[in-house]
Chain A
Amino acid sequence: MGDPGTKDVLTLEELEASGNIRTGRKHILSVLVENKPGVLTRISGLFARRGFNINTLSVGPTDDEQVSRITITLDGATHPIDQVTKQLHKLINVLKIRDLEPSETVARELALFKVAADSGTRAEVMQICEIFRGKVVDVTKRSIIIEITGTTEKVEAFERMVRPFGLVEMMRTGEIAIARGRGET
């Protein structure tokens, strides 16, 4: 119970036993917070001053309007995940933290790619888009905008494929994640 990487809710009591472990893999922390002003600042400030480096962070409402969910991904190779979660737990506005187990989790991010494509290359780019189940959302004579949804790995793979054509711009939301099965995340 409570070891980093398991799907159980990390409570303070369970955290007692865990040491300063660097797990060496990506972690997705799902953090429920009170929907109050300044909460995001408290969290990002904590990460900054403790030297924890966030890979991605996304915030959104939940089914309860008093509660927001923050999804944070960070690298377990460079961060003691238990120290991160313990420090987060000390923030009064943080209600619940879950370190999501990758195999038990559905994680997705949304990305928009603006790729240089003229009549000569457009067909090829659209073919790649199709393979990745992307959607063309805008086309001009010299460019094309593609929407991709998927795991970080898929988005990164798509980026590698279209980059040679000339990547004008790219935007990514960062991952959101939800636990598989009936139970709450």
Chain B
Amino acid sequence: MRAVDAVVECLKAEGVDVVFGLPGGANIPTYDAFYDGGIRHILVRHEAGGGHAAEGYAKATGRVGVSLGTSGPGATNLITPIMDAMMDSVPVVFITGQVGTHLLGTDGFQEADIIGITMPAVKHSIMIQHPNEIPRALHEAFHIARTGRPGPVVVDIPTDLSRADIPYEPITDVHLPGYQTFTEGNTKQIRQAAKALAAARRPVIYGGGGVINANASEEFRAFCRSDRFPVTQTLMGLGAFPAPDPQWLGMLGMHGTRAANYAMDEADLICCVGARFDDRITAKLSEFAPRAKFIHIDVDPAEISKNVPAHIPIVGDAKNVLAKLLAEYEALDTDSSRLDEWWQRIAGWQKQYPIEKSFTDSEDTEIKPQRLIQAVYEATGGDAIITSDVGQHQMWTAQHYHFNEPRRWINSGGLGTMGFGLPAAMGAAIGCPDKTVVCITGDGSFQMNTQELATCAQEGIPVKVIISNNGYLGMVRQWQELFWEKRYSQVDLGKYPDFVKLAEAYGCHGVRLTDKTTLVDDLKAAIATPGPVVVDVSVTREENTYPMIPSGSAARDMVG
């Protein structure tokens, strides 16, 4: 069998039903196999779009995404999605073409050492050195991408090797002596954690994207509800615990709620599940949760005690550990009234600082960006898959769109990649064809991968793009306003381009909204329009995202 046909067979064996990519010289053989190989291929307009689409697909479905690119620039265009997948633990296999083995190391046309370039950005990478290695390499790539802490794996196939004739046998085992995952969690440590929780007077459960990656949302909810534990989540964890809910404090971190951040600040015990104490969560590390002891549950041992020393470390898959923790906790004789005082304190913050009051609505018909997100929530009934780009609109979406199910909120958290939203929405829409998929973006971010509108139009991918258009690189402008004496350096994007015309040029439906009084109905109509739609919404130009922990400050010093 041709090695490239074996590639297609391997993908089928892994359950792959769709791949995202763009052909080039070095991977023409692979594309010949895709011509009638029986796997759907989405032809993107830029490899980065394909990489992010594979991420969106993976995040929405929980399956491994696949992204293809050719050698040289095709492969280097994938670096941003690879790093993005690394930072947010997204299982994606990237298959790159490479120049022929006789050209390797000679600076051949479209040669790039993609294994070398991506080394700090991958969970693992494999350079094919013999065509017979291809089936095992692909099987192991999928295994590594999806198990343990998920992540990106690059498989680089030189073009001459991909043309070889090889004996194909489906691979079902893995031979990875250096790869171990610990998923069960240490029973003794789990029991100790349960006891610590039972004794805590001011506990907080702090959940992250790991809960969603482990498909542990149900276990997480059951555990949180085994007592009246206050629950907060990171940007990546939203949806694992339903919002709103009486136990829900809102998101924590730089643009989280005061209730969540103050609760972390005053907690005596923080139970972290699948999160990594990122700097956007801890703010000033030396003043982070000064009174708390920490339980840290994570499938990656290297995350434990990396930033914040854990008193009770538990290495394991969130799904397994939470089920055991719940059983251990329920076996204890606990009295929830010990949390009364704590809840009174929290309720005070919730009442005083509700997120709905983090902005003032306009008095005329001008649309406040926060109001736009609330309107999207209303127009979709809270039941859409929402992707976002990066910046103010991302934070407003996290604050004002109440996610009540996992895998409904898809955004670039760790790397903060502008241009992620549209391709990710494409991938999500293909993975979940029955769901409404809305990309909430900004006029800055959207322009970083606008070309994928052509992909949406051609493939009939019914993504609804909503642009919160303020004509600025808004988050940078906000920082310049607050910390750089309003010296707005290179953030004004003007009124370019005309997004409605642009959408139409790409064969999508375009509409512009400017009136807040009809906003919800207008959005409903736009979302109900078949096919890909771009909604350009003019919002208040200089609006700030609040509340906010200024960079370098402690959580209790939130402003706005």
A residues apposed to B, CB below 8 Å: 11-13, 15-20, 33-34, 37-38, 41-42, 45-46, 49, 82-83, 86-87, 89-95
**What is the 8 Å Cβ interface bit string for chain B, positions 173-195, against chain A (1 contact, 0 not)?**
00011111010001001000000
Out of B119, B123, B124, B301, name the residue touching A41 (CB < 8 Å): B119
Cβ contact within 8 Å between B115 and A12 = no
**What is the 8 Å Cβ interface bit string for chain B, positions 65-96, against chain A (1 contact, 0 not)?**
00000000000000000000000000000000
Within 8 A of A (CB), among B257-315: 300-302, 304-306, 309-310, 313-315
Given contacts A38-B127, A83-B306, A92-B144, contact A16 B301 (CB under 8 A): yes
Given contacts A82-B305, A83-B306, contact A94 B178 (CB under 8 A): yes
Cβ contact within 8 Å between A92 and B178 = yes
Q: Which residues of A contact B246 (CB under 8 A)?
A: none
Q: What is the interface of chain A mostly: helix, strand, loop, or mixed? A: mixed
How far in angstroms is the closest Cβ of chain B from A78?
Answer: 16
Cβ contact within 8 Å between B186 and A19 = no
Cβ contact within 8 Å between A37 and B302 = no
Residue of A nearest to B186 (CB): A16
How far in angstroms is the closest Cβ of chain A from B57?
Answer: 24
Given contacts A83-B306, A87-B302, contact A13 B182 (CB under 8 A): yes
How far in angstroms is the closest Cβ of chain A from B186?
Answer: 6
Cβ contact within 8 Å between A12 and B144 = no
Q: Which residues of B contact A45 (CB under 8 A)?
A: 119-120
8 additional A-B residue pairs with CB within 8 Å, beyond A16-B301, A37-B129, A94-B178: A11-B180, A13-B186, A19-B310, A34-B177, A37-B127, A46-B120, A92-B144, A92-B176
Q: Which residues of A contact B180 (CB under 8 A)?
A: 11-12
How far in angstroms is the closest Cβ of chain B from A99?
Answer: 15
State which size class the interface on B falls in: 20 to 34
Cβ contact within 8 Å between B306 and A92 = no
In Å, the complex CA distance between A90 and B304 comes to 13
Cβ contact within 8 Å between A89 and B127 = no
How far in angstroms is the closest Cβ of chain A from B324?
Answer: 15
Could you list 23 A-B pairs, sorted by A, with CB under 8 Å?
A12-B180, A13-B315, A15-B301, A15-B315, A19-B305, A19-B310, A20-B309, A37-B127, A38-B115, A38-B119, A41-B116, A42-B119, A49-B120, A83-B302, A83-B306, A86-B301, A87-B302, A90-B300, A92-B124, A92-B144, A92-B178, A93-B178, A94-B178
In Å, the complex CA distance between A28 and B144 comes to 29
**What is the 8 Å Cβ interface bit string for chain B, positions 157-178, against chain A (1 contact, 0 not)?**
0000000000000000000111
Q: Which residues of B contact A38 (CB under 8 A)?
A: 115-116, 119, 127
Q: Which residues of B contact A13 (CB under 8 A)?
A: 182, 186, 315
Out of A37, A49, A89, A91, name the residue touching B301 (CB < 8 Å): A89
Q: Which residues of B contact A42 (CB under 8 A)?
A: 119
B residues apposed to A, CB below 8 Å: 115-116, 119-120, 123-124, 127, 129, 144, 176-180, 182, 186, 189, 300-302, 304-306, 309-310, 313-315
Q: When A and B form their complex, which 4 residue pairs have the shortest distance between CB atoms, in order from nearest? A: A86-B302, A92-B124, A95-B178, A20-B305
In Å, the complex CA distance between A10 and B176 comes to 18
Q: Which residues of A contact B124 (CB under 8 A)?
A: 92
How far in angstroms is the closest Cβ of chain B from A37?
Answer: 7
Residue of A nearest to B144 (CB): A92
How far in angstroms is the closest Cβ of chain A from B177?
Answer: 6
Q: Which residues of B contact A95 (CB under 8 A)?
A: 177-178
Cβ contact within 8 Å between B176 and A12 = no
Q: Which residues of A contact B179 (CB under 8 A)?
A: 92
Q: Which residues of A contact B306 (CB under 8 A)?
A: 20, 83
How far in angstroms is the closest Cβ of chain B from A164?
Answer: 45
In Å, the complex CA distance between A17 and B177 comes to 23
In Å, the complex CA distance between A138 and B176 comes to 48
How far in angstroms is the closest Cβ of chain B from A98?
Answer: 14
Q: Which residues of B contact A89 (CB under 8 A)?
A: 301-302
Cβ contact within 8 Å between B177 and A12 = no
Cβ contact within 8 Å between B315 and A34 = no
How far in angstroms is the closest Cβ of chain A from B312?
Answer: 10
Q: Which residues of A contact B176 (CB under 8 A)?
A: 92
In Å, the complex CA distance between A86 and B310 comes to 15
How far in angstroms is the closest Cβ of chain B from A64?
Answer: 11
Q: Which residues of A contact B186 (CB under 8 A)?
A: 13, 16
Q: Which residues of A contact B301 (CB under 8 A)?
A: 12, 15-16, 86, 89
